[in-house]
Structure 1
C-alpha cells in the first residue's frame, strides 16, 4: 500500500505535458485489453485474438516510447546541465537506466 502511495505522490510531483496523452493511450489500451478478454471468453478465433493483442501491445509500447522520449528531452537535458555544474554523473546513470526499457 505504501509503495502505491509513494508512486502516486511522485506522479503528482513530476508532471510533463505528454503525460496527459500517455494516460489517454493507456486507458484506451486498458479498454481494448478488456475487450480482448471478452473475446477469449466468447471463444473468438486465435487469429483474431492475436491481432487484437498485437494492437494492445503496440499502444502500450507507444506510450512507453513517448514517456521515455519525454524524459530524455526534458528531465535528462535538465539533469545533465545541472549535473555538469556540480560534476555529478547521476544524469548519465539515469539515462543508462531508462534506456534499458526501450
Structure 2
C-alpha cells in the first residue's frame, strides 16, 4: 500500500484502536471498575465505527468515478458494501 493511499490513514486508526483495546484488556486483568472499562470499550467501538465509515466513503467515492461497464460493476459493488453501513 502506498503511503499516500487513503487506506493508510484507516490502518493507522485501526492500529491505534488495537493498542487501546490491549490497554482495556490490561484494565480487565487488573480488576479496574466495570464503568471505566465500559467507557473505554465504547471509545474503541467508536474508533472502529469511524474507520469503517471512512473506508466505505472512500470506496463509494472511488466507485462513483467509474463509467460505462465499470459503473455498472461499481454499482453492484456499492450495493454489496452498503449492507455494512
TM score, norm. by length of structure 2: 0.87
Task: Establish whether residue 59 from structure 1 lines up as the match of residue 42 from structure 2.
Answer: no
Taking a change above 3 Å as real, the CA distance of residues 98 and 58 of structure 1, as seen in their structure-2 partners, is same
CA RMSD of aligned residues (A): 2.1
Mapped to 2, the partners of 1:26 and 1:96 lie a distance apart of 24
Q: Select the residue among 59, 69, 78 that pairs with 1:83.
A: 69
Q: Select the residue among 16, 20, 38 that pairs with 2:8.
A: 20
Deviation at 1:26, TM superposition (A): 0.4
Taking a change above 3 Å as real, the CA distance of residues 70 and 16 of structure 1, as seen in their structure-2 partners, is farther
- The equivalent of 1:5 in structure 2 is none
Name stretches of at least 5 consecutive residues in structure 1 with no aligned partner.
Answer: 1-11
Taking a change above 3 Å as real, the CA distance of residues 32 and 68 of structure 1, as seen in their structure-2 partners, is same
1:36-51 matches, cutoff 5 A: 36-51=24-39
TM score, norm. by length of structure 1: 0.74
More helix by percentage: 1
- The equivalent of 2:17 in structure 1 is 29
- The equivalent of 2:56 in structure 1 is 68
Deviation at 1:16, TM superposition (A): 7.0
Question: How many aligned positions are there?
Answer: 85
